[in-house]
Every structure is written in structure tokens, then in C-alpha cells.
A and B are shown apart, each in its own frame.
Chain A
Amino acid sequence: MKNNSSDSKITKDEDIVMSNPFKAKSHWQLMWEEFKNHKLAMGGIIVLILLYVSALFAGFLTPYNPNERFSEFPNIAPMQIKIFDDNGLTAPYVHPIVGQRNMETLAMEYTVDQSQQIPVNFLYKSDDAYNFLGLFKTNLKLFGSDETQIFLFGTDGLGRDIFTRTIHGARLSLTVGLVGIAVSLILGLFFGGISGYLGGMVDNFIQRVIEFTLAIPKIPLWMGLGAALPQDWSVIQVYFAITVILSLTGWVSMARVLRGQILSLKEEDFVKAARAAGAKSGRIISKHLIPNCMSYILVNLTLAIPGMIIGETALSFLGLGLKAPAVSWGVLLQEAQNVRAVAQYPWYFIPGVFVIVAVLAFNFVGDGLRDAADPYH
């Protein structure tokens, strides 16, 4: 967060009260202290940091390429890395998968061989070269093994590693909300700002538009727009199109909150003073009013992101959003569309757990921020 006028205003106040032993704290400091007491919100922050960091280092943390198929290993159950064996603590190992020909059906069958222990190699050099943070190419992976494949979350019907795909999927799924929210923020700031500040006819019109947008059910609208995306678009194009679709309804709540805040703030003395000093409307909105609404905007942002993550996941799940070869949580959950498949291979559902955890974490953080946004109560 950049320094804004409310901050600098308080800094100036601080200069005045320097002689005072009770140092004045800034709005953000007060907010942070309040926020720290909210245990669920702090937990949420930690979970989110972990998720985003693993998305960033997905290439290093996961043993394979997300679209690599091990066609000989379809629907393998999740494998555990164990550190205890019959003799107590030992170096991390896995039980390997071994293939055996079923002499009746003559098909190869793969099972986990409990009798063998294969040590896991850490900082393993794999065949899969990836771009580390887009800086340089490397094939160093956190873990791997020469003698067996390691599928922590199991594999899907095509023999792709679900762990690798889930962590890589976080990249699209977790950023779609951020990009979408940026678009909503711009729209919301603009319309909410002028609506609250100008009032009258403009306000009336924008309010009607907002009410109308709120009455439109999101999923049918998103589905309609998602279906309209050309089939031959690239992943990047579809990705940005989806963020725009999600923001079409997302800006509304932002605009509402902002309008309410600005309506009450614009009667304050410092705004009147600015106007008396000859400041233009655009300047008053952007330099005086919006910075003072910043904490409410932040709360609203945080609470809007989970809706967007769910939106992307739902659209991709239905096949109207991102499509393979793109890897997102929604795309992965397409495998779970058939409940009989899930009943047989419950690990298809693991990407769904990630969706729930991420959304829950955002909601907790948003709730903590909401409580903290008004530290003067």
C-alpha cells in the first residue's frame, strides 16, 4: 500500500505531537493491531501465503510436468512418503508401484508393493526441465526417485500426477481472482466515486444500473458469456476473457461501498476546505475521498476474491471456462464430474479441497479486515 494522504496527514499530526510521550499511531498500524487479534484471519493469511508461494515455485515443488502422462499408471491411489518402518525412524521412503500381468485377463495390473522400500531423493535431478521463476531453465526438483514414480495425490484416468497438476493449477485459479478484482476495482472506483460525489441524476442512474446488475443471477450470466468465447482462443485469451466476465458483476459491490463512504465523507470539513481552496472534483475524489475509504475498499476486495475463484472453478468445471491443456482447479475437477468415478477414485476430489481451503482462507482474512477496518469503535 502506497502512502496516501490520510497517512501523510497523520504523519504531520505526529510531528505536532512529537513532544507528547503518547505517540500517535497511524490508521494502518491500528488496523494491524486489531487484525492480529483475529486468530482465524491470521491463520488465513498463513494459508494464503503458503498457497501463493507453492504456486510460484510449482515447478520446483512438484516432481513432474503437469501434462506428462504415465499411461501405464492410470488411477493410482495416493502414495505416502513414510519416515517410519518396522525398525523405527528412517530416511524417507515410498513403497514402489509394481506391475504384474494378470494371467486370466492378460492385462497389466499395478499395485503398491508394501514389501519394498525405495528411498526418496531430495533435490533430485529429473528429466523434466522447467523455467525457474521465468529466469533460467533447470531440472532440479524438490524430490523424486530413479526407481519408482511418486504420486502423492495419485493419478487421474490418463496417468497424470494429480499433485503436480493441483499445485500448477493454483497458478491460474489463484490469480484469476486477483486480475478480476483489479478490473472490478477500477470500474467500482470510477462509478462509485462519481456516483457518491456528483449525486443527483448521475447518482440516480448509476444506482439503478447497480440494482439491476445485482438482480441478475451470476451463474446463468457467466455461463452465457463463457459459452460465447470462441473455441479457438488461446489459454491466455480465455483467461483474460474470464476475468472480464467475472468483473462484469464484481464491480457492483465495490461501487456501492465506495458510494456510501463518499456520501458521508464529502460533508467533512477537510473536503469542504479542499473545495474552498479551488481543488477540482477529480482531485478531491482521488486525493481526499478515496484514500480515506481505503480500508473499506481493502475489505471489499478481500471478500470479493473468493467469489471470483469459485466463479472460475465453476465455469471451468462446466467446460465453459478454461479448457485443457490449461491446468486450473476447475479443469482438474472436470474429472470429478461423474460421481461414480469419484466414488471409485476419491482422490479426484483433492483439487476441490484446495478450492475450499483457499476460499475459506480468503473469507477469514476478509472477516478479520472487516472487524479491523474500523479500529476507532
Chain B
Amino acid sequence: MLNFILRRTLIIIPMIILISMISFLIITLPPGSYIDSYLANLQQMGGEIEQSRADTIKERYGLNDPIYLQYWKWVKGFPRGDFGMAFSEERPVINIIQERIGYTILISTLTLLFTWILSIPIGIYSAVKQYSFGDYVFTFFGFLGVSIPNFLLAIIIMFVGLRFFGINLSGLMPVQYMGEPWGLSKILAVLQRIWVPVVVVGTAGMAGLIRIMRAEMLDQLRQPYIQMARSKGVDEIKVIIKYAARIAVNPLISTIGWLLPQIISGGTIAGIVLGLPTLGPKLYNALKIQDMYLAGTIIFFNIVLILIGTLLSDILLALVDPRIRYD
């Protein structure tokens, strides 16, 4: 077992290197750079800027080097936690990541739990009462959830909140709590709003999960051991929950692999629309003004989060399902 975990963890290292390359490639694609537009701006403002000073700035960030050297200059700081400078904010990228990654992880985890907690019982119900009215209703709402783009749902919820309840649901907390120390009232204020991104992103993944749970459940209910249990007179509720559902839930753990990219992806756009203190809005701004190291690092961390989540789910699956072989 330990051997399996170790090996599975080691595979991540080449993946991380690959991710850093892809992130770097994406941010070097646009023509020009933040420095270029920054210098152009300075010149426009009338600030006579000598070529030598521009060169010094470019030299400092290695912007005149060939691309592989630029890449190397960027990644060699990674082990020390140095991800370059965020030009627009004039501070290290790592500070911005530290400020925001917690909220990204929090919202992603809550979304994952929300999706599971709702879709497992719905999947069980839909399988047990296959083709019933309730089955169709859930299927329809599942489809609706997939079909409403995350950003539209976010706007709809904010619209309903503002128009019918007169409350502003954007952001994660009212302005007066920002920068305040955490207390009960602040936590309550956050709880009042954090459900919005969770619902917005969660509904998108729910239909897929319900479908898998329903299919697995139908599969299990046809197995001989279920007939056996029923013929012995085991209570039907017990047959469903303790026999069938217990086995049917296992494959759901492996869905983290595709659910997590979806959650990070949806969370990014929900964060932008809702103005959350997550990585999404920072990525959006950084891309717009070509703050390359900030944008690259956020893309990098987004994918790394998914890899770690998938790793944890693989280990979890191996722990709960004794049929998985470790070698």
C-alpha cells in the first residue's frame, strides 16, 4: 500500500514539469508584454524614458533572452517558492497566490461535497424508482443544470437576489468585513454568500454524477446477492442502503478525476462574475493586461490542484475498495 502511494505520488513530478511548460507557453503566446505596454504608457505620459532604463528593466526580467532561457529563469525559482513578479501589483506572485488559493480550495471542496451529497441520494432514488415521475423530474433538472452556463446562472442568482430580495450577493463578504479578523459574525456573513458559487458550479456537474450513480445502482440491484438478501427477508431499505448503494458509491470516487477540472473551470468564471477573492478574477485581470508571471502561475496552480485532488481520490479509492490492486 505504502509502495502504491509512493509510486503514485512520484508520477506527479514529471506531470508538474509538463504543466509548468504548458503554462509558460500559454503566457508567452500573446505578442508584446506587460513591460512593453508599461513603457509605452510611461512615454505617453510625457515621462522621457531613456532606452537604457527600458533595457535595464527588460534585462532584469530576462525579456530579451531566447524563450527556453526565459522559461528556465522562471521555473528555477519554483523550489524556493519564487514564481516571479506580478508587474501590475509590484509584488511577488507567490503573495497573491497565498492570499487567494485558500478560498479557491475552500469553494472547490464545498462544491465537490455539495455535488456528491445531492447526487448520491438522487441517483439512488432514480434507480430504485426507475422511470417514475420523480426520476424524470430529476433528469430534467439535471439537464437544466448542465445547460445553463455557469456565468449565466451566477447572474440569474444575483439578479433574483437584488430584484426580489434586495440583497447584493456579489463578493464573498460585505465590504465592512474585509480585512477584519475572523469572528462569528464574519463567518455568518460569508456563509450567507458562499453558497452562490457552490450552487452555480455544483449544478453543472450534478447531471453526470446522477447518471453514473443511477447506472451503477441499477447494475447492483440486478446482482444475485441482492436477490439473496431479499429472499432472506432483509428489510428493503437496508437492501438498498447497506447492500447496493455501498458498492455503487465506489466508482463515484474515481469521478473526481473529471469532476475536479470542471469545478476549477467553473469556479474560475463564477469567481469573475461574482467578484470572489479566488484565483479566477486575478487570472482574468492578469491575462487582460499581460501580467505574464501572475497569469502563468495561476494556470499552473489550477492544474496542480487538480492533480493533487486526483491523487488523493486514487489513494482513497484504493483504501475503500479492496478489489483495486496496488501493483
A residues lining the B interface (CB < 8 Å): 212, 214-221, 223-225, 227-228, 230, 306, 310, 313-314, 317-320, 333, 336-337, 339-340, 342-343, 346, 349, 352, 355-356, 359-360, 363-364, 367
Contacts and interface: CB of A to CB of B under 8 A. Distances in A.
A46 B143 CA distance: 18
28 contacts: A214-B261, A217-B264, A218-B261, A219-B265, A219-B268, A219-B269, A220-B268, A220-B280, A223-B268, A223-B284, A223-B287, A224-B26, A224-B29, A225-B26, A227-B288, A227-B290, A227-B295, A317-B151, A318-B269, A320-B288, A340-B162, A342-B155, A346-B163, A356-B144, A356-B149, A360-B143, A360-B144, A367-B143
Given A214-B258, A215-B257, A224-B27, A355 B155 contact: no
Interface residues of B, number: 49
Contacts of B298: 220
B106 interface: no
Nearest to B159: A342
A306 B272 CA distance: 22
Interface stretch (B61-69, B74-82, B246-254, B300-308): B300-308
A212 to B, nearest CB: 7
A342 B257 CA distance: 36
A217 B265 contact: yes
A356 B152 contact: yes
Contacts of A218: 261, 265
Contacts of A217: 261-262, 264-265, 268, 302-303, 306
A354 B306 CA distance: 32
B181 interface: no
B273 to A, nearest CB: 8
B26 A228 contact: yes
A220 B162 contact: no
B266 interface: yes
**Quick one: which of A215, A221, A318 has the most chain B CB within 10 A?**
A215
Nearest to A360: B147
Contacts of B319: none
**Quick one: which of B29, B269, B272 has the most chain A CB within 10 A?**
B269
Nearest to A315: B269
B310 interface: yes
Given A228-B26, A313-B149, A215 B306 contact: yes
A367 B306 CA distance: 28
Given A224-B299, A225-B29, A364-B143, A314 B264 contact: no
Contact of A314 (B269, B288, B290, B306): B269
B47 interface: no
B18 interface: yes
B284 A318 contact: yes
Contacts of A225: 26, 29
A129 B228 CA distance: 75
B310 A228 contact: no
B31 interface: yes
Interface string B141-165: 0011011111110011011001100
Kindly list the 4 A-B residue pairs having the minimum CB-CB distance in the complex, ordered from nearest: A228-B29, A227-B287, A217-B265, A224-B26
Contacts of B265: 217-220
A177 to B, nearest CB: 13
**Quick one: which of B29, B152, B268 has the most chain A CB within 10 A?**
B152
Contacts of A223: 268, 283-284, 287
Given A214-B257, A214-B258, 20 more contacts: A216-B22, A219-B265, A220-B265, A220-B268, A221-B26, A223-B284, A224-B27, A224-B299, A227-B290, A314-B269, A320-B287, A336-B155, A339-B155, A346-B163, A349-B159, A355-B149, A355-B152, A356-B147, A356-B148, A356-B149
